[in-house]
Amino acid sequence: MLPAPAKYRLERSNTIIGNSAMEQLYTVQEVSIILKVGYRSVLQQINTGKLSAYLVAHSYRIPESSVMKFLDINKVQRVAV
């Protein structure tokens, strides 16, 4: 699970479906808290295709793997001076 500030830490149980654990899904608000950005910034990343999400009952659910991939793609590479 991605680290979040202590006051926003979410307690979740692992859901088992069949023989494998279901991947953690986050709401837009939870991702905005984890990444410390605005709610609309997360929506913009989803709408531009930079952050993949599922649309469930008129609200987005973002898999943890998508958040990790987004962070990996946007990692700043330090250039030697």
Is residue 61 in some structural domain? Answer: yes
Structural domain range at position 32? 23-66
Distance of CA 21 to the CA centre of its chain: 17
How confident is the model at residue 9, as a pLDDT?
47
Q: What is the CATH number of the domain that holds 31?
A: 1.10.10.10
Is residue 80 in some structural domain? Answer: no
Q: Are 4 and 45 in contact (CB under 8 A)?
A: no
Please tell me the distance from the alpha carbon of residue 79 to that of residue 30, in angstroms, as a whole number.
32
Average pLDDT, 10 consecutive residues per value, the chain (81 residues): 52 49 89 96 96 94 95 88 73
How confident is the model at residue 70, as a pLDDT?
95
Considering the chain, what is the average pLDDT of its residues? 82
CB neighbours of 37 closer than 8 A, spacing ≥ 6? Answer: none
Residue 49, sorted as left (phi over 0), alpha (psi -120 to 50) or beta, turns out to be left
Q: Tell me, yes or no, if the pTM score tops 0.85.
A: no
Question: How do residues 31-54 score in pLDDT, each as one tens digit?
Answer: 999 999 999 999 999 999 999 999
